[in-house]
Amino acid sequence: MNQTVDIKELNERIKQESSFVDLLTLEMNKVIVGQKHLVESLLTALLADGHILLEGVPGLAKTLAINTLATIVDAKFSRIQFTPDLLPADLIGTMIYSQRNEEFVVKKGPIFTNFVLADEINRAPAKVQSALLEAMQERQVTLGENTYKLPEPFLVLATQNPIEQEGTYPLPEAQVDRFMLKVVISYPEKAEEQQIIRHNLAQSFPTASKVINPDDIIRARKVVKDVYMDEKIEKYIIDIVFATRFPENFKLEKFKDMISFGASPRASISLAMASKAYAFIKRRGYVIPEDVRAVCHDVMRHRIGLSYEAEANNLSSEEIISEILNTIEVP
């Protein structure tokens, strides 16, 4: 009985604390037409303290989306265009010798900001990718002998273009695993595209207003962790992850030779955190199985290794995830 009362109280508290979500979405929708899933995923990552890898052809408002989000949150924003000649120092900064002081001084790079857009991350060589990924994981940068903390909140939104393979350096699986979500975005609908044309041909392009500040996001992240997750939901998440490692134990023998490696424990953590953030966005104080299912594809699609056999049969990780969700019993 006590637990029911607690859940009720928690639900009320989350409803109050998450009131800014509607305002945030409203401001995003002023500028971004359609792309509901992209906006939802950005909010999920922001509240769950995770990074996003976006995959989509050019011109789908990826840069505009994170720029708009930075405006709404009143946060600092950097856009880094990744190119084959980029150096780690261009990203994290370097030590410069000052003749006046006769000593080396630190010149911080564009990574020292709240929102980083790493545009076309797969165009930069491995050294640059690893410099970014260290900053993502450790939330700090080492320059010379000193270590510098990155500002809070810190969100990396990396994009990669799926159509060009020439002159690119694909991200290794271990590095891709650092991203909480991998979101695949598609073309807008006809009516949405018409709206996009109108926006761009109007005398002035719509702009978003500042709604919250970075401190509100840090506070909201603490509240997200309070969202109630039942033991049954935890077991459901673990079953989904284990089904990618040992499909034969879950009546999915057909995938045994299709998966070369399953999702890591980082996937379980990300799935739980993203489910809580999704419940928060939906203004609920507890996680339901639908929350897990809603974020599952984005959390898992880049964490399943496909064998040559799967590629020969044109089987994608999305299809495997869908089949797992359809097979595993929902609590």
Task: Give Cβ neighbours of residue 242 (< 8 Å, ≥ 6 apart).
Answer: 249, 250, 262
The answer to whether the peptide bond before residue 153 is cis (omega within 30 degrees of 0) is yes
Instruction: Give residue-wise pLDDT tens across range 67-83.
Output: 888 889 888 889 999 88
Q: Which residue has the higher pLDDT, 295 or 101?
A: 295
The hierarchical CATH code for the domain 228-327 is 1.10.8.80
What's the whole-number average pLDDT of the chain?
87
Instruction: Give residue-wise pLDDT tens across range 104-113.
Output: 888 889 999 9
The residue written with tokens 């992850």 in the block is 241
Per-domain boundaries in the chain: 29-202, 228-327
Model confidence at 5, pLDDT cuts 50, 70, 90, reads: very low
Q: Is the pLDDT of residue 271 over 90?
A: yes
Tell me what pLDDT residue 295 has.
95
Q: Is the pLDDT of residue 199 over 90?
A: no
Q: Is the pLDDT of residue 1 over 50?
A: no
Do residues 242 and 293 touch, judged by C-beta distance below 8 A? no
Model confidence at 166, pLDDT cuts 50, 70, 90, reads: low
What is the homologous superfamily of the domain 29-202 according to CATH? Answer: P-loop containing nucleotide triphosphate hydrolases (3.40.50.300)
